[in-house]
Amino acid sequence: MGAAQAPSIAEESYLLTAAEVLACIRTGELTVEQYARALLDRIAERDSQVKAWAYLDRDYVLEQARALDAVPFEQRGPLHGMPIGVKDFNSGAYQGDFPELDAAPIKLLRAAGALLVGKTTTTEFAATGDGPATRNPHDLARTPGGSSSGSGASVGDFQVPVALGTQTGGSVVRPACFNGTYGFKPTWGRISREGLKFFSVTYDTLGFFTRGVDDLVLLADAFGLHDDSSLPASSRLSSLDSVAGLRLGLFRTMMWPHAGPGTRAAMDRAAALLRAHGAVVEDVELPAEFDRLPAWYDVVLACEGGSSFLPEYRANRAHLGALLVGYAETSGGHSHREYLEALDGIAALRPRMDALLAAYDAVLTPSAPDEAPLGSTTGSYLFCKMWSALHVPVLNVPGFQGVHGMPIGLSLLAPRFKDAQLLAVAAPLAAIFETEGGWTRQVHHKVPAPNGHRHLNGAGARKCETNGASRGTNHE
């Protein structure tokens, strides 16, 4: 008997990042339909366990893919063929409702040539801590985080390369940390929220889940997330290939007593790795004026949650959970005076934080207290909520490992409207964390190979000729 034939690029294309796949599509080595079928097969294999999707129509996905393949090359958009999962908002009040108009981010993605795969799961109105049925792909007994539960899990499980999330407190950063993905919350206000359901008008921000910084750069360029330098994010990324000489800060913040052993070890290892690679790393203490920020965050959240969910409360109270009923009825019991004090106090701190962050090329801070906890609750967002309040861009970078073998990420921060700078710094830093941090991304299968796992020559799927080798990916 001859040797078994190696899998084709199409068969294992689900392992590639979006940037790698788009390169294959541009060279003609892969069609959008071939890639869509590989993703749908992966979803069929795994989603009965992970449960990341609230709605998915296989036939419609393939119909979109064939339509994209029919577009002439010269008319294709910058994200042509990029599959994206879209976060749902999960409410019985809207069961069976199919909006006739796209939200602004979806309109932009369609115009750029993206392939919309389906709706990913979330908690009720993306507002509660009680998770949906979605499980963490790396340990089905653990939470994937939330509220962007399905988005984080689907990207972490290689079911889709990119997914949308929204962040009010930590709903992008925390699931990214728990599922071993990149999770990027841009500067507040940089991306239109027209057509999105709000929890908090002061905090809510659209974000992205990916398995690589290159994918985030493509998205940032498509959404126009350029800094005042006017350089696209991709131009800034190509100019920085090492952390040597970078000045980086470490923020442990007032939440540090809540950090578990995994996060503490990740912060220490990150600092040691960066110093070993030539970066200057400094511990930074937050001034006392930031001490009231967590409490102010809570006041604004409760008051704005009250006004946000009042329409559903009046029209469909029976379909609302107890937490959202409480918001609508009492706004957390806070007065207008307290709300104004919190709004004004947080607003005064934003330029102060910009000044602190501007002293560094980027600042590292914890993404979550520790690895994903057992159970269905979505975990703590204590380490995330202040950055949502301050409107700064935040990026979870994976690479570290907890005591139970689960992924742990750290957040990278920059001043407001320095999104492209943040991604530029993240690229060489992420390469270090993913290769030397201690955690290796794994591809889990419904039926394990006889020896429990297999390796594809130390890498993932075959690459197109235009791409270099990717970082190691294990199968089990």
With 70 as the cut, is the pLDDT of residue 45 above it? yes
pLDDT digits (tens, 9 = 90+) for 326-375: 999 998 999 999 999 999 999 999 999 999 999 999 999 999 999 999 99
d(CA 116, CA 110) in angstroms, rounded, equals 8
Q: Secondary structure of 143-204 in the HEC alphabet?
A: CCCCCCHHHHHHHHCCCCCEEEEEECCCCCHHHHHHHCCEEEECCCCCCCCCCCCCCCCCCC
Choose the weakest-confidence range: 3-17, 59-73, 178-192: 3-17
How many CA within 13 A on the CB side of residue 185?
36
Indicate the pLDDT class of residue 97, thresholds 50, 70 and 90: confident
For residues 301-310, average pLDDT: 95
d(CA 160, CA 173) in angstroms, rounded, equals 18
Instruction: State how far the alpha carbon of 212 is from the alpha carbons of 18, 19, 135, 215, 434, in Å.
Output: 8, 8, 22, 6, 10
Structure tokens at 333: 């019991």
pLDDT digits (tens, 9 = 90+) for 208-225: 999 999 999 999 999 999
With 80 as the cut, is the pLDDT of residue 237 above it? no
Q: SS3 for 182?
A: strand
User: What is residue 86's predicted lDDT score, i.e. its pLDDT?
Assistant: 97
Catalytic (active-site) positions: 87, 147, 171
What type of residue sits at position 134?
T
What type of residue sits at position 55?
Y
User: What is residue 168's predicted lDDT score, i.e. its pLDDT?
Assistant: 97
DSSP conformation class of 447: S
Choose the weakest-confidence range: 127-136, 213-222, 245-254, 369-378: 127-136
d(CA 207, CA 170) in angstroms, rounded, equals 11
Write out the DSSP string of 54-73. EE--HHHHHHHHHHHHTS-G
Q: SS3 for 311?
A: helix
Nearest to 93 by CA among 125, 126, 120: 125
pLDDT digits (tens, 9 = 90+) for 106-119: 999 999 999 999 99
Residue 288, burial from CB neighbour count under 10 angstroms (0-12, 13-18, 19+): exposed
Do residues 296 and 334 make contact, with C-beta atoms less than 8 angstroms apart? no
Indicate the pLDDT class of residue 129, thresholds 50, 70 and 90: confident
Structure tokens at 362: 């980027």
For residues 26-47, average pLDDT: 97
User: What is residue 469's predicted lDDT score, i.e. its pLDDT?
Assistant: 33
Beta bridge partner(s), residue 474: 442, 455
Indicate the pLDDT class of residue 8, thresholds 50, 70 and 90: confident
CB neighbourhood size of 226 (10 A): 18
Structure tokens at 129: 């801590």
More confident position, 441 or 450: 441
User: What is residue 308's predicted lDDT score, i.e. its pLDDT?
Assistant: 94
Handedness of CA 262, 165, 307, 187 (dihedral sign): positive
d(CA 246, CA 238) in angstroms, rounded, equals 16
Nearest to 439 by CA among 138, 222, 190: 138
